[in-house]
Copies of this chain bind each other. A is one copy, B any other.
Amino acid sequence: MTLNVYLSGEIHTDWRDQIIAGARDLDLDIAFFAPVTDHGASDDCGVAILGAEERKFWHDRKGAQLNAIRTRMGIEQADVVVVRFGEKYKQWNAAFDAGYAAALGKSLIVMHGADHQHALKEVDAAAQAVTETPQQVVDCLRYVLTGALPG
């Protein structure tokens, strides 16, 4: 059984790399998917491919719709969706992905710091696990796949 895991949310720290490396070190049978994490490419992909726009609103729209092809595919094919809320920015797209995943009945693992706990209570309430560190996410995935506990 290969576990399909989509890693949604924050793109400014290396949390995805940590989870992927942690899973690889444990030889876990997991296929990871993620959005495009090159911020510039993600913002400008629409106009770069489909033509420039004068208004920022449509510039953003073209990019967001193109990115949505990848995001929706990633969430729909996932067994588990991990959503990371970082320290900065609004990150509404992360919460949007969490809602989308929840409505599809996907298992949700949320990762965020303690200071965001109250603001994220509705998202946490839809999750199977609320974590703070990449290591905890790896431990959850290992347990789900193998039944082994850390330590």
Residues of A within 8 A of B (CB): 1, 3, 31, 33, 36-38, 41-42, 44-46, 48-50, 54-58, 60-73, 77, 79-80, 85, 89-105, 107, 116-131, 136, 139-140, 143-144, 147-151
A46 to B132, CA, bound (A): 14
Contact B50 A131 (CB under 8 A): yes
Contact B65 A128 (CB under 8 A): yes
- With beta carbons under 8 angstroms apart, the residue of B41, B70, B149 that contacts A149 is B41
Contact A122 B36 (CB under 8 A): no
A97 to B97, CA, bound (A): 10
Chain B: minimal CB distance from A30 (Å): 13
Whether A68 touches B103, Cβ cut-off 8 Å, given contacts A45-B149, A95-B92, A147-B41, is no
Chain B neighbourhood of A36, CB < 8 A? 143, 147
Whether A116 touches B90, Cβ cut-off 8 Å, given contacts A149-B41, A149-B49, is yes
Chain B: minimal CB distance from A74 (Å): 8
Chain B: minimal CB distance from A70 (Å): 5
